[in-house]
Structure 1
């Protein structure tokens, strides 16, 4: 043995001991394992119980994004066309997944919990333009009893009722 330590024999010992261990291989595309419950995957724009969008077009998510991956253009709701309760809605909402680092700062910045992250992680594509998700890909699907916007707020409800979660 050398005065500096175990020397090359220790290295050979590690190699020799791992030669007979069973290899751990995942069959990824065929067998998908569940992700952790709090995994940060693809973003989702949520809706209220009647189908109106939660996004109010405030652009706080875009300002909070360190990678500059979010683009939001807010617009005013009208009585003829109402997409969200209150005065404004996100007319244009885009997330560039070529830039997104999955940090979740946009989620923390959202005052209405309109933006959340799902467990979906398969977003690979061979076209750069297809990795810029717009509202068509980001909006949560309509559940039973929901009506696609634009439509008026629930009878007798105010925007505060929506934000407090008392509208069903």
Structure 2
């Protein structure tokens, strides 16, 4: 008989503890974000879409060392290297990434590519809206991943430079 009373008392205590947690959360502040009316605020460590960085001179930091592609467990990074020429330097190194694709159909946003890069050329940004009806649009090319080139000092008020295959202000590829 005392065991039954103890079980009932323990069950009632557990039930009361659960109701306490429920009431605390019900009466506390809400954490709902009014997206898309209000911008979403992410922590600095958030792993969003990738960004290929530039140096202070506007040259690409990527030297096509293939370490990011080798570190990727999902095998979603494809790189083709090319030699830099003195007349038109793309990167400060001898080589640059002529083709740099990330397949977001396969990417698991693990961050191994960012950790493996010796030049700090690739990083995670704050982008998260990559949903698409056509999965072929989830293979992002180098032009979509590159951060914008810094504006020259004499043209601070000029509109941003738009590459031939980009929609102005969005950086998205044009439909062909």
Q: Which has the higher helix share?
A: 2
Paired residues in the alignment total: 147
Structure 2: distance between partners of 1:34 and 1:127 = 28
Q: What are the ranges of 5 or more consecutive residues in structure 1 without an aligned counterpart? A: 149-168
1:125 aligns with 2:167: no
Name the residue aligned to 2:99: 92
Task: Give the equivalent residue in structure 1 for 2:44.
Answer: 37
C-alpha distance in 2 between matches for 1:141 and 1:128: 25
1:102 counterpart = 2:109: yes
Higher relative contact order (CA 8 A, sep 6+): 1
Tell me, yes or no, if the aligned pair for 2:63 and 2:96 is still in contact at 8 Å.
Answer: yes
TM-score (norm. length: structure 2): 0.71
Cα distance per residue 1:79-125 (max 9 Å; x no partner): 33321122110000011112111111111111111111112222222
TM-score by length of 1: 0.74
From 122, 135, 139, the counterpart of 2:142: 135
Match of 2:22 among 3, 18, 24: 18
Structure 1 residues 17 and 100: CA distance shift in structure 2, 3 A = closer
**Structure 2 runs not aligned, ≥5 long:** 154-160, 162-176
Instruction: Confirm or deny: 8 A CA contact 2:50 2:123 kept in the other structure.
Output: yes
- For residues 23-102 of structure 1, the aligned pairs below 5 Å read 24=30, 25-102=32-109
